[in-house]
Amino acid sequence: IQDFKGVVPALLTVFDKDENIDEMGMRQLVSFLLDKGVNGLYLTGSTGEGFTMSSIERMRVVEIVMDEVAGRVPVVVHVGAIGTKLSIELAQHAERAGADGISSVPPFYWRFNEDQIVKYYEDIANATSLPMIVYNVPLVGLLGMNAIKRLAQIENVKGIKYTALSLYEITQIKDEIGEDFLVYSGADEMAMAGLLAGADGIVGSFYNVMPELFINIYNAVQNKELDEAKRLQKEAVEIIMYALSYPSFYALMKVMLKWMGINAGYCRRPFENVTPENEAIYKEGFKVLKEK
Ligand code: NAY
């Protein structure tokens, strides 16, 4: 897992118009991203609409992607589910499918306490030999530093995907838990800042649609070309902010991929797909942004 670094798309899941997994579309998207040079893939997370799928469907996505990737980059599978038993089944399947790591949001919906959250991760981490990357995300409530430190004590817990709007914790985690504890910055808007705070990599939605821009940001930071990194990040922020003005931005990203010749399909309900009228509006909007 130590080579799970750099720019990692939180892979979109490609559905057809009838909301079925589109295997050809998935393969095309994976192959596009690998050709662009992304350093890894993160499957069936928020961007992958993981929670809209049954376990069987999630497993199928993992199998398709593992087959298409064929060992070229490390793959981490998000296995978070509404109950520990379901997460364990997904984790064990990920291991059998050849994934390089697993990841999970904390148990959600019933508002579990810290001890229960720690137990959830222990149970999953002990069920396979794969490294576990904790997924800290405001959508389900952020884990505090105390909980993170406790989780880091669990054997197999090797890192955290830190999707928050403050970044000083990344520095703190590296400082207090150790340099080897992997940290991924989760907010694409702050990719450069997350890397400067010490993140090993960036995992996010927009790396599906503009992988090169973020690979350039990553390389610029590595090479300490900070003016260049800042310039590129500013460009990225303008595109991200415009895309986020659309209420179902995963669907918009799928349309953006379509414009690039990738059949990324549609979203599952309750995410809304982009109407032809909106598609025309956004296409024009992006063109104006590009010309700026
Ligand atoms: C995932 O599992 O899909 C992620 O990695 C999530 C990271 C994204 N955060 C959420 C809540 O979806 O990429 C970010 C986010 O979409 C982006 O920064 C735009 O705000």
Q: What is the pLDDT of residues 119-171, one digit of tens each?
A: 999 999 999 999 999 999 888 888 999 999 999 999 999 999 999 889 999 99
Report the residue count for the chain. 292
Residue 34: Cβ within 10 Å count: 17
Sign of CA dihedral 30, 180, 163, 165: negative
pTM score, two decimals? Answer: 0.97
Does residue 192 contact residue 169 with C-beta atoms inside 8 Å?
A: no
pLDDT higher than 90, residue 225: yes
Task: Please work out whether the CB of residue 104 comes within 6 Å of at least one atom of ligand 1.
Answer: no
Choose among 65, 272, 43: nearest CA to 161.
Answer: 43
Q: How far is the CA of 163 from the centre of ligand 1 (A)?
A: 7
Confidence (pLDDT) at 13: 98
Which of 141-150, 205-214, 256-265 is predicted with the least confidence, judged by mean pLDDT? Answer: 141-150
Q: How many CA atoms lie within 13 A of 143 on its CB side?
A: 31
Ligand 1 atom index nearest CA of 188: 18
What is the three-class DSSP state of 168? helix
Q: How far is the CA of 145 from the centre of ligand 1 (A)?
A: 21
Mean pLDDT computed over 267-272: 97
Rounded-to-integer distance, Cα 130 and Cα 72, Å: 18
Mean pLDDT computed over 37-56: 98
Confidence (pLDDT) at 138: 86
Choose among 212, 213, 151, 161: nearest CA to 182.
Answer: 161
Confidence (pLDDT) at 290: 85
Confidence (pLDDT) at 292: 78
Confidence (pLDDT) at 133: 98
Q: How far is the CA of 141 from the centre of ligand 1 (A)?
A: 14
pLDDT higher than 90, residue 48: yes
153: Cβ contacts below 8 Å, ≥ 6 apart:
none
Pick left, alpha or beta for residue 20 (phi over 0 → left; psi -120 to 50 → alpha; otherwise beta): beta
Angle in degrees, 0-180, between the axes of helices 226-244 and 249-259, rounded to the nearest 10: 110
Given 3-state DSSP classes, what are the helix, strand and coil percentages for the chain, each rounded to the nearest 5?
A: 50, 15, 35
Catalytic residue list: 135, 161
Task: Please work out whether the CB of residue 137 comes within 6 Å of at least one atom of ligand 1.
Answer: yes
Dump pLDDT digits (tens) for 282-292: 999 999 988 87
Rounded-to-integer distance, Cα 188 and Cα 111, Å: 27
Element (H, E) at 182: strand 182-185
Q: How far is the CA of 206 from the centre of ligand 1 (A)?
A: 8
Which of 94-103, 110-119, 132-141, 187-196 is predicted with the least confidence, judged by mean pLDDT? Answer: 132-141
Mean pLDDT computed over 187-196: 98
Confidence (pLDDT) at 2: 86
Choose among 292, 289, 216, 215: nearest CA to 256.
Answer: 289
Dump pLDDT digits (tens) for 236-254: 999 999 999 999 999 999 9
More confident residue, 182 or 137: 182
Confidence (pLDDT) at 93: 98
Confidence (pLDDT) at 152: 98
* DSSP code for 164: S
Six-digit token string for 132:
């576990």
Task: Please work out whether the CB of residue 163 comes within 6 Å of at least one atom of ligand 1.
Answer: yes
Residue of 7, 47, 241 best suited for mutating to test ligand 1, as the one with most atoms within 8 Å of CB: 47
